[in-house]
Amino acid sequence: MNSKSLVSITDYSKDKILKILDAAADFEANPNRDLLKGKVVATLFFEPSTRTRLSFETAINRLGGRVIGFSDAANTSTSKGETLHDTIRMVSNYVDLIVMRHPLDGAARYASEVGSVPIINAGDGSNQHPTQTLLDLYSIKKTQGRLENLNIYMVGDLKYGRTVHSLLMAMSHFKPNFTFIAPDELKMPEQYKVFCDKNGIPYKEQRELVGIENADILYMTRVQRERFQDLLEYERVKNVYKLKNAMLDGTKDNLRVLHPLPRVNEIDVDVDSNPKAYYFDQARNGVFVRQAVICDSLGLI
Amino acid sequence: MSEQKKELVVVALENGTVIDHIPSDKLFKVVSILGLDKSEKQITIGNNLTSKKSGVKGIIKISDKYFKADEIDKIALVAPNAVLNIIKDYKVVEKQTIGLPEEIHDIIKCVNPKCITNNQPVPTRFEVVDKKNIVVKCHYCESMIGQNEIEIK
């Protein structure tokens, strides 16, 4: 793999994470900078993801770079049966950097091994989406003023939700205290609890969305119907994990509610006007973080 | 008479390697992993032979062939208790046990149907994360696979 790629959040050391977050803060203060002038970046979206693609393309445009690419593999040679290997080899000839979204797990790691330019993973199947994790970290740092010693409550689908797994791994550098709130079907997988144990990270597990008075961060995720074999259980669970404005009474002033979006019904719209709701600002932070990651991959910061 | 029969079944080797204590149901996997189906050496294969240790076993004798460690470690996943007897001039000069390598290339199939290696022509690659309990991690999709789930390609 070329060392400038970002495939998984674990590719970044603690120092590297902090460097990216500092650079993102600079971009937030001054987003329009011509650092990518004369450079071409490919955004290869083998499956549609409008929010992520627009966020990356905004980042590239604000840096003065040019974008080529596609937003859906249907109209490309992929539909003729071209392998990922050949597409990446070909596009590597044209551009300085590739941002890639792919429906298959592990596609980004593989692309980073066959391409001659850095690859930034914009999501590979259900595996990794590291810039999402970095924008989560940026949002936490910005709203809390620090990353260390925070009470992080993760709620909803902790089994399949890649964002919570990556966030857990990334936060492990900063002495967090976790609370995992999920139904039995969607509990945090054993391997992540073993990881916490090994790294001396305290956590507790509970089934109900109650007792959040000590939370600094409430990280909500979507509970998806297709994860359940028993639909009656889904009907019960989806209401248990629905955050309503009244539930935020008595919580800490610094509490912020995060969500990777899209939200369906796990956060009631009556939360949106609460100053503790942060999920839309969180999405905005993604542009600054992606500016920082792109510049780092090209050795510009 | 029965003694003579035994000798006929298991021919003595002048020089080469005897791989002993292979689980019977894994014998032909071992043959294929080591590429012995393409070898031009003299090979004797025995299977479902009675074993004091494990009921039945398989055994492979290859003339004039000695394996390098990285070659033989490949069979550790299917036959971790196999023993290699190095034969020189009809005598066992060395017994080797088998160790798991750090990385396993293109032997195991990933269990994740959505892994890139199951959908495109990409050789598999696994990191051994736990040698004792045999747990491997897909280098690409990062799925963890335990011993009972391991499937040879």
Q: Which residue of B has its CA nearest to A112?
A: B140
Can you tell me the distance from the alpha carbon of A60 to that of A292, in angstroms, rounded to the nearest whole number? 10
Q: What is the CA radius of gyration of chain B?
A: 17
And the tokens for A57? Answer: 């393309």
And the tokens for A300? Answer: 């510009």
Tokens 């997988």 belong to residue: A189
And the tokens for A176? Answer: 């967090």
**HSE of B94, CA atoms in CB hemisphere, 13 A:** 9
Give the closest of B114, B139, B143 to A104, CB-based. Answer: B114
- Exposure of A134 by Cβ count < 10 A (0-12 exposed, 13-18 middle, 19+ buried)? buried
Residue A281's pLDDT is: 95
> Cα–Cα–Cα angle for B98, B103, B106, nearest 5°?
95
Q: Quick one: pLDDT band at residue B5, thresholds 50, 70, 90?
A: low
And the tokens for A107? Answer: 């596609």
Q: Which residue of B has its CA nearest to A103?
A: B114
Can you tell me the distance from the alpha carbon of A5 to that of A11, in angstroms, rounded to the nearest whole number? 9
| Selected residue with higher pLDDT from B146 and B77 | B146
**Buried residues in A231-270 as b, exposed as e (16+ CB within 10 A):** eeebeebbeebbbebeebeebeeebbbbbbbebeebbeee
State yes or no: pLDDT of A3 exceeds 80.
Answer: no
Residue A37's pLDDT is: 96
Range of A10-19, B23-32, B80-89, B132-141 with top mean pLDDT: A10-19
Give the closest of A8, A83, A109 to B120, CB-based. Answer: A83
Q: Per-domain residue ranges for chain A?
A: 9-128+285-297, 130-283
Report the Cα–Cα distance between both ends of chain B, in Å, rounded: 43
- Which of A9, A104, A169 best tests the B interface by mutation, with the highest count of B CBs <10 A? A104
Can you tell me the distance from the alpha carbon of A136 to that of A54, in angstroms, rounded to the nearest whole number? 18
Which secondary-structure segment (H or E) carries A233? helix A231-240
Q: What is the pTM of this model?
A: 0.87
Say yes or no: domain A9-128+285-297 is CATH 3.40.50.1370.
yes
Summarised one tens digit per residue, pLDDT across range A74-98 is 878 788 889 999 999 999 999 999 9
Distances (CA, A) of A206 to A38, A153, A178, A213, B84: 52, 10, 11, 14, 52
Question: Between the CA atoms of A128, A39, A46 and B124, what dihedral angle is there, to the nearest 10 degrees?
Answer: -50
Q: Does B117 touch chain A (CB under 8 A)?
A: yes
Q: Which residue of B has its CA nearest to A102?
A: B116
3-state secondary structure of A199: coil
The phi, psi pair for A206, rounded to 5°, reads -150, 160
Give the closest of B121, B140, B144 to A106, CB-based. Answer: B140
**Closest Cα to residue B21, out of B102, B84, B76?**
B84
And the tokens for A22? Answer: 């500092």
State yes or no: pLDDT of B69 exceeds 80.
Answer: no
> Cα–Cα–Cα angle for B108, B114, B120, nearest 5°?
70
Residue B75's pLDDT is: 86
- Which of B105, B110, B125, B142 best tests the A interface by mutation, with the highest count of A CBs <10 A? B142
Residue B131's pLDDT is: 86
**What is the CATH topology of the domain spanning A130-283?**
Rossmann fold (3.40.50)
Domains A9-128+285-297 and A130-283 share a fold: yes
Q: Do A105 and B120 touch (CB under 8 A)?
A: no
Summarised one tens digit per residue, pLDDT across range B78-133 is 888 899 999 999 999 999 988 888 899 988 999 999 999 999 999 999 999 988 88
Q: Quick one: pLDDT band at residue A123, thresholds 50, 70, 90?
A: very high
Q: What angle do the packed helices A14-29 and A130-144 form, to 10 degrees?
A: 70
Q: Quick one: pLDDT band at residue A250, thresholds 50, 70, 90?
A: very high
Query: For strand B103-105 and strand A97-102, is the pairing parallel, antiparallel, or unpaired?
Result: unpaired
State yes or no: pLDDT of B7 exceeds 60.
Answer: no
| Selected residue with higher pLDDT from A213 and B52 | A213
State yes or no: pLDDT of B4 exceeds 60.
Answer: no
Q: Do B142 and A127 touch (CB under 8 A)?
A: yes
Contacts A191 to B, Cβ<8 Å: 144
| Selected residue with higher pLDDT from A233 and A276 | A276
- DSSP E strands, chain A: 40-45, 66-70, 97-102, 119-124, 151-155, 177-181, 203-206, 217-220, 256-258
